[in-house]
Structure 1
């Protein structure tokens, strides 16, 4: 990703509605759908500034990987120990058969060799381990935001299901999320495209709007993993070694 993306993440990840509500939603998905042993070991790959690490730390001992040096330094300070520098798909130096949960949260779309990345991640799982991954949905929503974030693709349920299967993994859960605000996001994306004024879409909104969006998006935590969601801006999946 571009340097400005990491800088904006560091500035906003504790208060922007998307980061805050998303963490709550993913925590509920883990609680409901990821069977974890006593004292599990967890790895987040592509942790950015480390904003997900405290949430993941509620479930077990966390290690992390981040290739950007500035973001890695901030993530290390948040984690309390060193974050690894180990690019996908090789993950050099990350021990195999060591983790009960590997989180890959809006990372796979950055990786050209997504199948090989999932294979490599599966080799880091302990028996009965799980991969939790999120990706942006709907290729038709491609915008300057994807370009600025160096995305290689946006996924459909079909393409995500296919790459998980091609990597030899068993798909246990596949759901849209960020569905409540999807109509707003879709209309904004289309309107911006027609006007020829696409922006990155990750600026901090006014305080009242931020609070409203956090509340609306956050409602999904009550239903995630319990009810099927209509189309949303993102996809979440849980996979295990088959």
Structure 2
């Protein structure tokens, strides 16, 4: 991603509704599908490290992030020695180690998504879990995806197919960010009509931010249990054979 994207991320990811609510949803997925404690966890593409404190409540956490500036911020925030390198060939991680590997809105940035998943499968301990989130609904492709250097948005079928090809078994797959789907869809359609460019990650007014956090964050109550048929994003829990 561009330097400016990471700078905005650092400024807003502690309070912005999307980051706050996604952390709650991811915490629910870890709790539901990796109940044994303590865990050995790995976050791939940790960005500026906004998830690391939450993940540390589940066990020991390693992290990698290819961007040097974001990596330094993540390390300072968390106290973790965040590693570098790009997927699939540029990371140095031990094999058969991690109970949970988290790839949170990262796979869409990787040109060789199959190769990345195959590599991470080798890093998972027997019975390990991969928790994966990606943008859904390819028709929503917009200037936001361009600004964030996405290679694709996924359908459920496409995500399941590449995960299976990598040798992993999907255990739970669902759309999420479903409640706000009509609002986001309308914004994307309007942006297409007006030729809008750039990302959608501006910090809203405080009242709007609190409301959006409450609405999106409420999905933590069912994301680990239900399989929603539509949403702005997809979440998957996959396991080693």
Equivalents in 2 of 1:128, 1:73: separation in Å? Answer: 32
Q: Is the 8 A contact 2:173 2:227 kept in 1?
A: no
Runs of 4+ with deviation above 2 angstroms? 35-39
* Shift, 1:36, TM fit: 4.3
Equivalents in 2 of 1:9, 1:74: separation in Å? Answer: 11
Equivalents in 1 of 2:37, 2:202: separation in Å? Answer: 40
**Superposed counterparts of 1:1-242, under 5 Å:** 1-32=1-32, 34-242=33-241
SS in structure 2 of the partner of residue 204 of structure 1: coil
Q: Is the 8 A contact 2:146 2:198 kept in 1?
A: no
Q: Is the 8 A contact 1:136 1:233 kept in 2?
A: yes
SS in structure 2 of the partner of residue 224 of structure 1: coil
* Shift, 1:92, TM fit: 3.0
Deviates more, 1:222-231 or 1:108-117: 222-231
* Shift, 1:111, TM fit: 0.5
Change (3 A) 1:97 1:91: farther
After superposition, the C-alpha distances for 1:75-94 in whole angstroms (9 at most, x for unaligned) are 01122131001210025321
Equivalents in 1 of 2:37, 2:16: separation in Å? Answer: 33
After superposition, the C-alpha distances for 1:133-162 in whole angstroms (9 at most, x for unaligned) are 100001110011111111000000010011
Which consecutive unaligned segments of at least 5 residues does structure 2 have?
A: none
Number of positions where the alignment pairs a residue of Structure 1 with one of Structure 2: 241
SS in structure 1 of the partner of residue 236 of structure 2: strand
Equivalents in 1 of 2:5, 2:198: separation in Å? Answer: 13
Q: Is the 8 A contact 1:109 1:154 kept in 2?
A: yes
Equivalents in 2 of 1:92, 1:196: separation in Å? Answer: 38
Q: Is the 8 A contact 2:21 2:213 kept in 1?
A: yes
Which consecutive unaligned segments of at least 5 residues does structure 1 have?
A: none
Q: TM-score, normalised by structure 1?
A: 0.97
Q: TM-score, normalised by structure 2?
A: 0.97
Equivalents in 2 of 1:54, 1:18: separation in Å? Answer: 17
